[in-house]
Chains A and B, each alone.
Chain A
Amino acid sequence: MSHKKEKDSQEHLPAADGAVRAYTRSKNFVEEIMRENERLRYKVFHQQQELAGVPRAASDSHHDVVSENQQLRRQLEEIKTQFEALNRENEDFRQRYQEVEHQNENLLNLYVSGYQLHSTLNEEAAVTVIREILLNLVGAEVFGVWLLDPGTRKMDLVNLTDECDLLQGQPARLSGERWEGLRGGEPWFAAAGVGVPGGEPVACIPLKLDERTVGVLAIYKLLEQKEGFTSLDQELLGLLAAQAAATLIGARTFTRGGGGLVWDPKDDGLGVGPA
Chain B
Amino acid sequence: MKRILVVDDSVTMRQLIKLVLMKYLPCQITEAQDGLDALAKLKEGDFDLVVTDVNMPRMDGLGLIRSVREALKSTVPIIIVTTKGAEADRDMGLKLGANAYLTKPINGLQVSKTVTELLG
Contacts and interface: CB of A to CB of B under 8 A. Distances in A.
B57 interface: no
B12 A141 contact: no
Interface residues of B, number: 19
A226 interface: yes
B25 interface: no
Contact of A129 (B12, B16, B83, B86): B12
A181 to B, nearest CB: 26
Residue among B12, B23, B85, B109 having the largest count of chain A Cβ atoms under 10 Å: B12
B105 A137 contact: yes
A98 B105 contact: no
Chain A binding surface, main DSSP class: helix
A116 B108 contact: no
B56 interface: no
B12 A98 contact: no
Residue among A113, A116, A223, A225 having the largest count of chain B Cβ atoms under 10 Å: A225
A111 B16 CA distance: 9
A109 B85 contact: no
Contact of B103 (A98, A132, A138, A223): A223
A136 B10 contact: yes
A116 B104 contact: no
A82 interface: no
A223 B12 contact: no
A176 B38 CA distance: 50
Contact of A136 (B20, B86, B105, B107): B105
Contacts of A104: 23, 108
Interface in A102-156: 104-105, 108-109, 111-113, 115-116, 129, 132-133, 135-139, 141
A224 interface: yes
Nearest to A226: B105
Contacts of B104: 135-137, 139, 223
B85 A108 contact: no
B13 A132 contact: yes
A107 to B, nearest CB: 10
Interface in A223-268: 223-226
B13 A141 contact: no
Contacts of B86: 224
B72 interface: no
B27 interface: no
A137 B83 contact: no
B92 interface: no
A223 B54 CA distance: 15
Contact of B16 (A109, A138, A226): A109
Given A108-B16, A225-B85, A138 B105 contact: yes
A116 B103 CA distance: 22
Interface in B91-120: 103-109
A112 B108 CA distance: 14
Given A98-B109, A105-B108, A132-B10, A225 B15 contact: no
Contacts of A105: 20, 107-109
B103 A225 contact: yes
B7 to A, nearest CB: 14
11 contacts: A104-B23, A105-B107, A105-B108, A108-B19, A113-B12, A132-B13, A136-B10, A136-B106, A223-B85, A223-B104, A225-B103
Interface of B: 10-13, 15-16, 19-20, 23, 83, 85-86, 103-109
Given A105-B108, A112-B19, A136-B106, 16 more contacts: A101-B108, A105-B109, A108-B19, A108-B20, A115-B15, A116-B12, A116-B15, A129-B12, A132-B12, A132-B13, A136-B104, A136-B105, A139-B83, A223-B105, A224-B85, A225-B103
